[in-house]
Chains A and B, each alone.
Chain A
């Protein structure tokens, strides 16, 4: 599902963000990518979203070879990926419902399909009562769930969560991860990028540890 083959990313100015990174994540896996800031996590995400190009190596995501994909096709790659950000990135002038519906509308989905799908997804993340509420009236955890609903709404093959617990308190963090695990059980591949070792320790899932742009350890099979 996600394949990094000896991926190196060097930024202009000589900063080596990723150095020969190599791993494979299979369909249906739940994986933590753990690392301190500066370890290369953000670069990894940017490469997966094709916001940045690797200096060397090959990346394959959901059957798209990222070094060969045409610019015109990038939106379709991104539809296979649902992204959840640390800072939620909700639109403040839209209600929870509209924020989720917006993601469908801009990908050319029919109005009927939107009316059917959005309430279902909001219910899945436990926000069916808050659909008409604006982001600023929601708690951090609730906002993150709206963001998750938005990521899920067009049924992506992969969920990428970038520090999804970074801006919410520990108890709610656990809830978010539990929710992601539920989603994973439904068959979606989930990748959680985090620097929070306590979460990783608690959930005992496959963990790829990044340090200074290299894979320090991959617990695949070891079930650490």
Chain B
């Protein structure tokens, strides 16, 4: 296809969008709303992931070693931990280290523990970091009944809750987003169908004078894509505003549903390219698909 023809067809597509502006506006509205919801869920998910990451990073599981365990047993246990999957990091804390740590923790009251060196009540332990919250239960189960293990302490309930929340969100989010995508495609396809109806005579004539399908289709695909891109830019603007104002609301105010977890949002500056890019890609894909699906019927002449 030569450049002048391509330019002509693209222009026709944009003119179509304008001539059909009432319907175009309606579909831009719906598409924008869809994108805000989809993008908003995406940003929420990013932030929740961010919080999870923080919890995961801090999260430790502690394997307490029996006082009567000898060096061989402790070495065996160490090897066992080393051989397990999903272990990010681990280290051994001896009874003496544990006491030192406790003294430090108690600060100026540390003197209370003086003299316990010979009759140390604190157990030796392995401090283990797991690479994912989900694997916490698995590691606990593997080590709980190992020789020389007194007990295992881990926030498995928290882990279970968090991974549960994450999974539910993923499933629910996917369903909602799926429905919205279908709705948007239907709306775009209906808008294009109106243009097609208004231009059916021209399309017939185009067929009779030997225009190829690609030639006939292009203006309508351009119309769909125009609607998609305008919606993407609008949705991006609205979402950016909402996100920034939420950021100032939460910023440092100390509203926290988990102590020790930062309350600031993931900064928008690190996300905007990703958001805008996926909106535009989404708009283009949906516009092209919506128009392509409605034009097929008209091409069969």
Contact = CB atoms under 8 A, between A and B. Distances in A.
- Asked if A and B are interacting partners, one says yes
Contacts of B210: 75-79, 81, 107, 154
A49 interface: yes
B210 to A, nearest CB: 4
A122 interface: no
B1 A108 contact: yes
Contact of A75 (B1, B5, B212): B212
A219 B78 CA distance: 106
A139 interface: no
A75 B4 contact: no
Q: Is the interface of B mostly helix, strand, loop or mixed?
A: helix
Contacts of B4: 110-111
Contacts of A51: 301
Interface string A87-119: 001010000000000110111101100000000
B269 to A, nearest CB: 46
Interface residues of A, number: 22
A38 to B, nearest CB: 23
Contacts of B8: 105
Interface in B171-214: 201-202, 204-213
B216 interface: yes
Nearest to A51: B301
Nearest to A94: B202
A106 B301 contact: no
A83 interface: yes
A197 to B, nearest CB: 27
Interface string A60-96: 0000000000001001111101010000010100000
Given A51-B301, A89-B201, A105-B8, A78 B208 contact: yes
A145 interface: no
Which of B5, B204, B210 has the largest number of chain A CB atoms within 10 A? B210
A158 B209 CA distance: 12
B2 A108 contact: yes
B215 interface: yes
B2 A150 contact: no
Interface of A: 49, 51, 72, 75-79, 81, 83, 89, 91, 102-103, 105-108, 110-111, 150, 154
Given A77-B210, A107-B215, 6 more contacts: A75-B213, A78-B207, A105-B8, A106-B209, A106-B216, A107-B210
